[in-house]
Structure 1
Amino acid sequence: MTSAAPHLSILDKPFVLDLFAGPGGLDVAGHALDIPSLGIEWDKSACLTRYEAGLETLHADVSAVRRDAFESLPPEINVLAGGPPCQTYSVAGKGAGRKALAEVKRYIERLMAGDSDEEIDKDLKNLSDPRTALVLEPLRYAIRATRSPNRDYRPYDIIVLEQVREVEELWKHYAKVLEETGLPDGTKYKVIVDVLDTETYGVPQTRSRAVLIARREGLGEPSLPAPTHRAYEAKEWNRRRDLALAQVHQSTLDEETAPEPEARQERGDDLQPWTSMGEVLVTPVGTHPGRDTPFLVRSNYGSSSDPGRRGVRSDQQPAFTVTGKISRFVVFQHLDESIVYEGARFSMNEAGMLQTFPPDYPWSGTAQAQQVGNAVPPLFGAHLLSAALGLPTLAPEALRKPWQPATEEQRAKLRSHGCGAADDCTARCPRPE
């Protein structure tokens, strides 16, 4: 089921709590939709990016805030969102989370049955990788909200979660217990879960995400965002590319040329063509000078379960999934049909634009490529929030204007709130180790 996108939010004043907020993908989406948000983020550099961008932030451990500072959160928050760290579930990792799926499901059931946080925390220490337990935090926050006197024990109205596709099984278990068992106070939700491809929402990269959208009973049936763009199909692209090359080879006889991207994607439906790298990067905007086309990109990670297999795509295709290795992608520029040379690799500004961050988003601190790769694509996040709240779909153009960074005064105010001091971290901030 997909959303029909009515014009009024199902909530009078939506306010998002973004767990594991990263550099701000979901918050940028909220900004574009005129929805306030507060992000909780552990990584110092990601917080520096958020402060520079002017985003409300708590530099804190999500688990620690739930345990020790939940009552300090704004009581008007009514939308819980987040993308827990994926390293232990992703196929790119060692798989500790994937191996512990059955065990994590049992923890979900124990939480819904009302087991104490102390007992749960004690037993979670037995997991081989503590990051695996972070996928439980959204549920623990949902339960904690119903026990908060600062909120008058009011549950969240909306829950929006996204993760790598391997977490779909856990989101389905979330859905089962939220619908059938309900939170320990009796609150139940209507829930929908699926794996969505970001290029079908205008993001210029192929990226599959398991998503969960839940509405508290009484707020109507939840729905998934309706696709706006066609899916990218590698086999179909390769077939048509080979056909185009054959046509070019015969051009002296029949003057045929390679078909335009739109022709390559013709399906006879009303969806827009998927967005290519070239479409996003070719035009100068803000400090981005524009990137010459045509170009080829060779990824720095494997494909088809083969770590040594490096895929190659052209500017007329969407990017590979943007990860923390995006700065290592090799970009080749064409001099003519027979000569190719290695060009400049993607800048952080360009990498962010492939994630649909606005141009000139103020990436700060260290490990900026990792920040970009870990983020929720803002355009995809906007589609999720719009579907969850019943808002109109956001046009991609809304995120293609240069981002205006915070002023020095705004940054100092945000950091005073987020870290406890206007110009530095304090003892309350998480320690890097």
Structure 2
Amino acid sequence: MGRYELVTLFAGAGGLDLAARDLGVPAVGIEWDTNVCATRRAAGLATEEGDVREFNPGDFPSANVLAGGPPCQTFTIASTGTGRRDLTDVLHFIQRMKLREDVTAPLAQLNDERTGLVLEPLRWALAAVDSGYPYEAVVLVQVPTVLPVWRAIGDVLSTEGYSVASDVLKAEEFGVPQTRRRAVLIARRHGTAALPKTTHQPYLKNASAAPSDSPLPPCVTMGETLDRPEPFHIVSNYGTGGDPRARGWRTSAEPAFTVTGKIRRCQVTTGDGAELDRLTCAEAGQLQSFPADYPWAGQDQAQQIGSATPPLLATHILTAALV
């Protein structure tokens, strides 16, 4: 791996930065939430507390890799969907940014200002190109509904000399003990961009339907991850596709549902229905592939965990982008 240094936008509790540290790559993250910054500092992660929009590539002159996971609240299926409704406008803004137009004012007119933040990585990438010091790689992670945005940004980066790959990845196929799907973009200035190869089998509700001759191991389960007596069941706090009436449950022999900021509302029961202690923040973090002793700090710790990029998934993504 060459000499790389990351600047991470919307850095969150440290999924991408923790992965970078494990790979021996220095990283500094920009994060505006004071509580999240408390966790990052407790974990020893370099942090600039503030609004990404108030910084520029020149503020981090030694960083040659741009990474980030913009806020997903307006795009996620479980939300009010303002970002999804504004998707056409967002895609139009990308074309204007390609022409180097300043779209700050119209972005502020969107239904939710967080929607426009999804375009901050493109602003940074183009500013770096225009300065004569383009990033060697760009790595972006978001909820699956943002894939059209990533692909439009990828088209722009391609015209600026990048090789680009983007698609939706399943976290359980990379050893994360939950079924989390994320839209990922990898752009490389040199070499051919490619998404990471899976390391585990995908989760199938009917495990007997899994191919018996697969060279990959089965996905990692909650029972393998958490230090709890087995078997146990977890009842989802939200419904499939955002429908609260479609609550499901999984056993400890399966990966968890997608970990959200409401993970601690999930019921945990024995096989015969007796209620057990609910998940701790440490356990929720483990289901995101954070270490069991990760120093969650400040308030809203469950939300910090649910919003994070799983470090194990991030490790595979960064390795694919930088090797």
TM bucket, shorter chain: over 0.9
Partners of 1:47 and 1:166 lie apart in 2 by: 27
Q: For residue 114 of structure 2, what is the aligned residue in structure 1?
A: 131
Amino acid at match of 1:175: G
1:268 aligns with 2:213: yes
Amino acid at match of 1:220: G
Shift of 1:63: 0.6
Which one of 103, 128, 137 corresponds to residue 145 of structure 1? 128
Q: For residue 59 of structure 2, what is the aligned residue in structure 1?
A: 72
Partners of 1:63 and 1:278 lie apart in 2 by: 42
1:55 aligns with 2:26: no
The answer to whether the 8 Å contact 2:78/2:242 transfers is no
Shift of 1:305: 4.5
Q: For residue 420 of structure 1, what is the aligned residue in structure 2?
A: none
Structure 1 alignment gaps of length 5 or more: 1-8, 241-263, 282-289, 391-433
TM-score (norm 1): 0.73
Q: What fraction of aligned residue pairs are identical, expressed as a percent?
A: 47
TM-score (norm 2): 0.97
Partners of 2:320 and 2:5 lie apart in 1 by: 15
The answer to whether the 8 Å contact 2:204/2:210 transfers is no
- Secondary structure of 1:86's match? coil
Shift of 1:16: 0.8
- Secondary structure of 1:162's match? strand
1:226 aligns with 2:205: no
Amino acid at match of 2:173: T
Q: Deviations over 1:174-224 (max 9, x none)?
A: 112221xx3xxxx321101111100000000001111100011xx111111
Shift of 1:172: 1.0
Q: Which has the higher strand share?
A: 2
Shift of 1:25: 0.7
Partners of 2:270 and 2:211 lie apart in 1 by: 27
Partners of 1:85 and 1:342 lie apart in 2 by: 34
- Secondary structure of 1:308's match? helix
Q: How does 1:284-433 map to 2 (within 5 A)?
A: 290-334=227-271, 339-390=272-323
Q: Deviations over 1:77-120 (max 9, x none)?
A: 1110011101111111111111111111111111110113xxx1
Q: Deviations over 1:246-276 (max 9, x none)?
A: xxxxxxxxxxxxxxxxxx7453121111000
Largest Rg, 1 or 2: 1
Shift of 1:147: 4.3
Which one of 171, 174, 186 corresponds to residue 201 of structure 1? 174
Partners of 1:197 and 1:78 lie apart in 2 by: 27
Which one of 90, 104, 108 corresponds to residue 104 of structure 1? 90
Structure 2 alignment gaps of length 5 or more: none
Q: How does 1:148-163 map to 2 (within 5 A)?
A: 148=131, 153-163=132-142
- Secondary structure of 1:299's match? strand
Detail structure 1 runs of 4+ shifted over 2 Å in the superposition. Answer: 264-267
1:170 aligns with 2:149: yes
The answer to whether the 8 Å contact 2:77/2:241 transfers is no
Shift of 1:125: 2.1
Amino acid at match of 1:86: C
Partners of 2:241 and 2:93 lie apart in 1 by: 32
Partners of 1:143 and 1:176 lie apart in 2 by: 13
Q: For residue 18 of structure 1, what is the aligned residue in structure 2?
A: 8
Q: Deviations over 1:358-387 (max 9, x none)?
A: 111000000000000000000000000000
Q: For residue 214 of structure 1, what is the aligned residue in structure 2?
A: 187
Q: How many residues are treated as equivalent by the alignment? A: 323
CA 1:305 to 1:50, structure 2 compared with 1: closer, same or farther past 3 Å?
closer
Partners of 2:308 and 2:223 lie apart in 1 by: 21
The answer to whether the 8 Å contact 2:267/2:278 transfers is yes
Deviates more, 1:170-179 or 1:157-166: 170-179
CA 1:359 to 1:305, structure 2 compared with 1: closer, same or farther past 3 Å?
closer
Shift of 1:71: 3.1
- Secondary structure of 2:53's match? helix
Q: Cα RMSD (Å) of the superposition?
A: 1.3
Partners of 1:71 and 1:197 lie apart in 2 by: 34
Partners of 2:75 and 2:25 lie apart in 1 by: 30
Partners of 2:135 and 2:21 lie apart in 1 by: 20
Partners of 1:332 and 1:81 lie apart in 2 by: 39
Which one of 78, 81, 101 corresponds to residue 92 of structure 1? 78
Partners of 2:99 and 2:68 lie apart in 1 by: 23
Partners of 2:38 and 2:241 lie apart in 1 by: 36
